């Protein structure tokens, strides 16, 4: 469970960091709350945060469920790929939104693997009764 805890905390801290980048961009670029549009660079940071939020709510439950089905080191590896993928996504999206696919795919792949594992595991458990 220690690997699951570590991946969980690091994914949360990464999301917190992305949120801080949005706050800093808002300040620096003069986008006054509650506006979220009007400055393209700010919007890029905001979309990185929102897309990460969408993946985070998938990753964490998928990871926790998978801890009943996959060995801890695998969970650590999948978590690391997610985290690295997210940083690549951040860099690419802020530089040039059209180039965000690699980072997105890299962070989405481990989530897909976890979800398929969880689905098979849950169905198997129901079938066994």
Q: Where do contacts with its own copies occur on this chain (CB under 8 A)?
A: 1-3, 5-6, 8-10, 12-13, 15-16, 19, 32-37, 40, 43-44, 46-47, 49, 53-54, 56-58, 60-62, 65, 93, 97-98, 100, 111, 115, 118-119, 121-123, 125-126
Q: Shortest Cβ distance from residue 3 to its own copies (Å)?
A: 7
Q: Shortest Cβ distance from residue 80 to its own copies (Å)?
A: 14
Rounded Cα gap, residues 107 and 105, in angstroms: 5
Q: Shortest Cβ distance from residue 2 to its own copies (Å)?
A: 4
Which residue lies nearer to its own copies by CB, 49 or 83? 49
Rounded Cα gap, residues 22 and 37, in angstroms: 12
Instruction: Annotate 15-31 with b (16+ C-beta within 10 A) or e (fewer).
Output: beebbeebeebbeeeeb
Q: Shortest Cβ distance from residue 31 to its own copies (Å)?
A: 11
Count of all residues that appear for the chain in the document = 129
Structure tokens at 63: 């990871």
Query: What separation, in Å, do the N-terminal and C-terminal C-alpha atoms of the chain show?
Result: 25
């Amino acid at each position: 469970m220690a690997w699951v805890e570590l991946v969980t905390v690091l994914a949360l801290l990464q999301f917190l960091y992305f949120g801080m980048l949005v706050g800093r961009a808002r300040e620096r670029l003069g986008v006054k709350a509650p506006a979220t549009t009007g400055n393209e660079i700010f919007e890029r940071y905001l979309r990185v945060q929102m897309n990460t939020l969408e993946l985070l709510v998938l990753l964490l439950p998928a990871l926790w469920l998978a801890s009943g089905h996959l060995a801890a080191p695998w969970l650590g590896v999948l978590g690391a790929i997610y985290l690295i993928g997210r940083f690549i996504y951040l860099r690419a999206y802020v530089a040039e939104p059209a180039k965000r696919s690699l980072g997105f795919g890299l962070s989405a792949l481990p989530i897909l693997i976890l979800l398929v594992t969880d689905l098979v595991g849950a169905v198997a458990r129901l079938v066994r009764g």
